[in-house]
Copies of this chain bind each other. A is one copy, B any other.
Amino acid sequence: MSKKLILVTNDDGITAPGIRALVHEMQLLGEVIVVAPDSPQSGQGHAITLTEPIRLKKVKVFKGVEAYECTGTPVDCVKLAKHVILKGRKIDLCVSGINHGSNASINIIYSGTMSAAMEASIDGIDSIGFSLLDFSFKADFNAAAHYARRISQEVLKNGLKECKLLNVNIPAVSLKKIKGIKVCKQADGNWIENFQEGEDPRGQKYYWLAGEFLDKEYAEETDLHALQNNYISVVPSDHDLTRHEAISHLNHFENL
């Protein structure tokens, strides 16, 4: 049997410790190709590069692994991997991360990590985004890496059927303290935002986004509740943004 083909990407850039940990685990499961941004791309959401060209460069970053850095967004990386680098070769799994910081709750919509995984899933590729709840570059990726491998192994073995995209978040605790995995829904969490205002060296005013996540008690079936209780959260997701149950309540619009 031929080896499974695993595409690895992220949004923190190809030199981030999180992707290094993920590549290491994926090498145990199949043939690994890495296409990742050449610089940090956090908060890029599902952005694609339309108005300018993208550069792609083969790099030696991971021992024994074919790897490319790309000047584009995380979603650009996946598109280039599919159309230019792998040119129609079947990708068995796309994994993105391990992200430095949470992509649970509302964070999924801003996340380059999750958008890259979603981009692969649009073509029917089983795709998983992994995120560790620790922004530090010195974060301990042991537990996250361990579960990234187990979850990826299960997906490679049995496939994803009902949806092609999983959002996996891992609490920032040691492997021993993790209580297990919960399959759950996205919590309706909030950021309390503000803008830092300042003046640049030329006397021009600027604004810089700041803020913190509102930490409250979350309902039991949500990702934030699982994470608060030291469980890994697994949320099934995809690219259909229709609020299906609202359709029948909006029929009066058809009379406008």
Residues of A within 8 A of B (CB): 40, 42-56, 73, 75-76, 79-80, 83-84, 106, 108-110, 115, 118, 122, 147, 150-151, 154, 161-163, 165-167, 180-186, 188, 193-195, 197-198, 200, 204-209, 234-247, 249-254, 256
Contact A236 B240 (CB under 8 A): no
Contact A254 B182 (CB under 8 A): yes
Copies, count: 2
7 A–B contacts from the bound complex (CB under 8 Å): A48-B209, A106-B239, A165-B243, A166-B250, A180-B254, A186-B241, A236-B242
Contact A253 B200 (CB under 8 A): no
Contact A253 B48 (CB under 8 A): no
Q: How far is the CA of A40 from the CA of B50 in the complex (A)?
A: 10
Contact B240 A186 (CB under 8 A): yes
Contact A46 B109 (CB under 8 A): yes
Q: How far is the CA of A118 from the CA of B237 in the complex (A)?
A: 17
Given contacts A237-B241, A242-B236, A250-B183, contact A209 B76 (CB under 8 A): yes
Q: How far is the CA of A205 from the CA of B54 in the complex (A)?
A: 9
Which secondary structure characterizes the binding site on chain A? Answer: mixed
Contacts of A40 on B, CB cut-off 8 Å? 51
Contacts of A53 on B, CB cut-off 8 Å? 198, 200, 206-208
Contacts of A181 on B, CB cut-off 8 Å? 253-254, 256
- The minimal Cβ–Cβ distance linking A198 to chain B, given in whole angstroms, is 7
- The minimal Cβ–Cβ distance linking A14 to chain B, given in whole angstroms, is 17
Contact A208 B253 (CB under 8 A): no
Q: How far is the CA of A241 from the CA of B46 in the complex (A)?
A: 13
The residue among A109, A182, A193 with the most chain B CB atoms within 10 A of its own CB is A109
